[in-house]
Amino acid sequence: MTATSTRTPASAATVAAPTVRRAAPPARRRPRWNRISIVGLIFVLPAALYIIIFQLIPVIYGFVLSFTKYSPLSRSGPKPVGVDNYANLFTNGDFGNALLVTGRYVLQVLPLTVVIALVLALLVARPFRGVSFFRSALYIPHIVSLTAVSLVWLWMYSQDGLINELLNAVGLPDQAWLLHPDSALNAASAMRIWKALGSNMVLLLAGLQSIPKELYEAARVDGAGRWNSFRYVTVPGLKPMLVYVVAMDIIYLSQGFAEIYVLTKGGPLGSTTTINYLIYTQAFQYNQLGTASAMAFVLFALIIGFSFLTMRSLTGRQK
C-alpha cells in the first residue's frame, strides 16, 4: 500500500512526497490512481459486483443460515439456534454415513483415474500418425454431460445391460449392481473413473508438453536411461499440473450429485448418499435449510483442508 502513502494529510504531504517518489523501485511499479486505472476499475465493476452479490454474499448468508432453523415454506424467517445444527451433525448418523460414503467415493476414484490418465497422457504425448484421434476419442466421456453418462451406465448396469451380458457370455450369473449396498458405490465409482479420464489426460498432457525438451536431452547426455529421465525429469516437471489435477478432482468428486441422483437416488440403504445428495434432500425434501447449510459448511471446510493438504504434500518436497 505504498501508493496510498503519498496521500498523507496536507501538512505532511509536502515533505513526504519527494522521498516516496525516490524510494519507489523502478522495476515493478505499484499501480496508482490515474485516468487509465479509473477506467480499469469501471471495466472490472460489472463482473466484480455480480460475483460479490451472487457468490460472496451467498457464502455469508449461508453461514448465517447454518446457525438458524429455517423452512422455506414458513414466511416467518430464520430462527437463531446457535451451534445446534453443527452439534446435531455429529450425533446424526446420516451425516457421518454421508461423510464416509463421500470419502470412500473420492478415494476409490481419484488414484485410479489419475494413474490411468497419466499412462494415457504419456502414450499420446509424442506425435505419431493418428495421435489426435486418440486424444479426441479419450476426451469424449468428458464432453458428455454427467446426467447423460449416468443414464448410459444405468442401462449398462441394468439386468439386461451390457455388463451382465458380458458376464453371462463367460458363464457368470447376473448381478444387480445398483441394488446391493455392497456394490452400488463401487458401480458409481467405476463410472466416475471412466468419466474423469479424458479431462485428467488432457491436463496431464499439457503438463508433459510444458517440460522443456532440453531437460530430456541434458539427462540423456548425463547417461540417464528411460526410467531415470522419467523419475528425475518427467515427475518433477509434471508436479505442478499433478497437484492441480488432484486438487480439482478432490473438489469435483467430493461434490458428486447428478450421477447419484440418476443412478441410485442415494440408495440402497444410504450406501451411495454423498454429502451433496444429503444436503439436497435435507434442504429441498425435508425443508431443513439450517441443517443443510451447516452440512455444506462442514463440506466446505473439508474440501479446503484436503486441497491444502494435497498441495502441501505434493509440493512440499520440491526445493
Partner 1 sequence: MTSTSTRPPSIHGHQSGHAPGERRIGSTIVLIVLSILVLVPFLWVVSLAFTPEKDAFGSVSLIPAHPTLSNFDTAFVDANLSTALVNSAIVALITVATNCAFAILAGYAFARMRFPGSTALFYTLISTAAIPVSVTLIPLFLMARGIPFAGGNDAFGHGGSGFLDTLAGVVLPYIVMPLNIFLARQFFSTAPAELAEAARMDGAGEWRIFARVYLPLAKPLIAVIAIFSFTGVWDDFLWPLVVTSSPETQTVQLALARFLASGNVQYGPVMAGAIIATVPVLLVFLFNQRSFISGLADGSVKG
Q: Which of 13, 59, 100, 309 binds partner 1 (CB under 8 A)?
A: 59
Q: End-to-end CA distance of the chain, in Å?
A: 30
Q: Which of 106, 246, 275, 310 binds partner 1 (CB under 8 A)?
A: 275
Q: How far is the CB of 137 from partner 1 (least distance, A)?
A: 5
Grid cell in block for residue 297:
459448511
Q: How far is the CB of 157 from partner 1 (least distance, A)?
A: 11
Candidates 12-20, 89-97, 101-109, 201-209; binding stretch for partner 1 (CB under 8 A):
201-209
Site mask, partner 1, residues 62-81, x = CB under 8 A?
x--x------x--x------
Amino acid identity, position 187:
A
Q: Which of 98, 114, 178, 241 binds partner 1 (CB under 8 A)?
A: 241
Sheet strands (E) in 71-154: 79-80
Q: In angstroms, what CA-CA distances link 79 with 43, 62, 67, 82?
A: 40, 14, 8, 9
Q: Which of 24, 257, 306, 311 binds partner 1 (CB under 8 A)?
A: 257
Q: Which of 14, 19, 22, 54 binds partner 1 (CB under 8 A)?
A: 54
Q: In angstroms, what CA-CA distances link 277 with 19, 82, 159, 244, 255?
A: 60, 25, 25, 25, 9
Instruction: List, in order, residues 6 or more apart from 215 with CB less than 8 Å away.
Output: 233, 237
Whether omega for the bond prior to residue 268 falls within 30 degrees of 0, making it cis, is yes
Is residue 56 a contact residue for partner 1 (CB under 8 A)? yes
Q: Are 292 and 283 in contact (CB under 8 A)?
A: yes
Contacts of partner 1 in 94-153 (CB under 8 A) = 116, 119-120, 123-124, 126, 128-129, 134-141, 143-148, 151-153
Q: Which is nearer to partner 1, 17 or 116 (CB)?
A: 116
Closest to 184 in 3D by CA, of 239, 105, 121: 105
Candidates 80-88, 92-100, 174-182, 275-283; binding stretch for partner 1 (CB under 8 A):
275-283
Q: Which of 86, 230, 232, 244 binds partner 1 (CB under 8 A)?
A: 244
Q: Which is nearer to partner 1, 185 or 201 (CB)?
A: 201
Q: Which is nearer to partner 1, 19 or 55 (CB)?
A: 55
Q: Which is nearer to partner 1, 185 or 197 (CB)?
A: 197
Q: Are 297 and 63 in contact (CB under 8 A)?
A: yes
Q: Are 94 and 278 in contact (CB under 8 A)?
A: yes
Grid cell in block for residue 116:
490411468
Instruction: Give CA–CA dist 42/60, Å, rounded.
Output: 25
Instruction: Give CA–CA dist 291/273, Å, rounded.
Output: 16
Site mask, partner 1, residues 283-312, x = CB under 8 A?
xx----x--xx-xxx-xx--xx--x-----
Q: Which of 14, 19, 55, 285 binds partner 1 (CB under 8 A)?
A: 55
Q: How far is the CB of 278 from partner 1 (least distance, A)?
A: 9
Instruction: List, in order, residues 6 or more apart from 253 with CB less than 8 Å away.
Output: 105, 106, 109, 110, 192, 196
Candidates 79-87, 107-115, 160-168, 177-185; binding stretch for partner 1 (CB under 8 A):
160-168
Please work out, in degrees rounded to the nearest 5, the angle formed at the alpha carbon of residue 163 by the alpha carbons of 160 and 168: 75
Contacts of partner 1 in 21-40 (CB under 8 A) = 30-33, 35-40
Q: How many residues bind partner 1 (CB under 8 A)?
A: 108
